[in-house]
Amino acid sequence: MNDPTRPSATQGRTDIRVHEADFDVGHEIAQLRAGNAAIGAVATFIGVCRDINDGDHVAELVLEHYPGMTEKALGAIADEARGRWDVIDILIIHRVGRMLPTDQIVFVAVTSAHRGEAFAACEFLMDFLKTRAPFWKKEQTPAGSRWVDAREADDAAAGRWG
Amino acid sequence: MLNILYFARLKETLGRDTERIELPAGVADVAALTDWLRARGGVWSEELAASRPVRVAVNQDMARHDTPIRDGDEIAYFPPVTGG
């Protein structure tokens, strides 16, 4: 229910950040929740750099992006999520540049009154981020560096939202 | 003028990340611009071949073959995205 004395509490905000620096998940969640008693659920996703891909050892990952379009595309994806679910806050942090195995790559957090909206919106945001936001991964393997190919499974994951 | 950007694998194989060109005569949409670039031959015809999974954005929005192109636009060519 909307609390008429705090109309902004249920509206929340969309926050999109693309940068090289690492992020502190605990800090980000605390900032999102701070003082907002309208939030009943926080769903989060953290994407992490693995040390293996397609059977090969990966020593490091370099993430390239299209500055400007990246933020625009993520903003459009967040708007679409807001149109589908009654969420309060959307936070998307995506790192670019050089990353090592175990490093955090991406963080998506969604707050809402109830868990169903937050879970669904968080998964939707990741599925669409992976197929629509202009990021490209290049990985360093023992055989040299190679661009990561897009996966059909990612298109299928985005497609199921209709 | 058109500002054309290339990313990821395309940036490497085409040997440039950006170029500015005069809007070629007769080019009014993405398909026509891609044909014009392909006509440069060599890696251009290979990388931008219709069989290759190339994506195009016009003014930072995902575009289709029939998306119009106008003088002053920013066009980007890149492979399917792999973030997240």
- Taking 60 as the threshold, does the pLDDT of residue A5 lie above it? no
- H-only helix segments in chain A: 25-33, 69-84, 115-132, 152-159
pLDDT at A86: 97
In a domain, B46, yes or no: yes
pLDDT at B1: 96
Q: How many domains does chain B have?
A: 1
Domain that holds residue B28: 2-78
| Cα end-to-end distance, chain B, whole Å | 34
User: pLDDT digit string (tens) for A11-35?
Assistant: 799 999 999 999 999 999 999 999 9
Q: Is B71 on the interface with A (CB under 8 A)?
A: no
In a domain, A11, yes or no: no
In a domain, A105, yes or no: yes
Å from B15 to nearest chain A CA?
16
Question: Which residues does chain A have within 8 Å of residue B53's beta carbon, measured at their own beta carbons?
Answer: 150
Instruction: Specify whether the CB–CB gap between A107 and A23 falls below 8 A.
Output: yes
In a domain, A104, yes or no: yes
Name the band, by pLDDT with cuts 50, 70 and 90, for residue A9: confident
In a domain, A89, yes or no: yes
Please compute the mean of the pLDDT values over residues A62-75 and round it to a whole number: 98
- Taking 60 as the threshold, does the pLDDT of residue A7 lie above it? no
How do B74-78 and B2-6 pair as beta strands?
parallel
Residue B22's CB: how many other CB atoms inside 10 A? 9
Choose between A3 and B46: higher pLDDT: B46
- Nearest residue of B to residue A134 by CA position? B81
- Nearest residue of B to residue A106 by CA position? B84
In a domain, B56, yes or no: yes
pTM, two decimals, is 0.93
CA-CA distance, A137 to B8, in Å (whole number)?
8
Q: How many domains does chain A have?
A: 1
Q: Is B24 on the interface with A (CB under 8 A)?
A: no
In a domain, A70, yes or no: yes
pLDDT at B77: 98
In a domain, B83, yes or no: no
pLDDT at A159: 92
In a domain, A160, yes or no: no
**What's A100's domain CATH number?**
3.90.1170.40
- Taking 70 as the threshold, does the pLDDT of residue A6 lie above it? no
Q: Is B62 on the interface with A (CB under 8 A)?
A: yes
Domain that holds residue A127: 17-51+64-134
Within chain B, which residues score under 70 in pLDDT?
A: none
Residue identified by tokens 């690492």 is A22
Name the band, by pLDDT with cuts 50, 70 and 90, for residue A8: low
User: pLDDT digit string (tens) for A83-131?
Assistant: 999 999 999 999 999 999 999 999 999 999 999 999 999 999 999 999 9
User: pLDDT digit string (tens) for A131-160?
Assistant: 999 999 999 999 999 999 998 899 999 999
**What's B28's domain CATH number?**
3.10.20.30
In a domain, B70, yes or no: yes
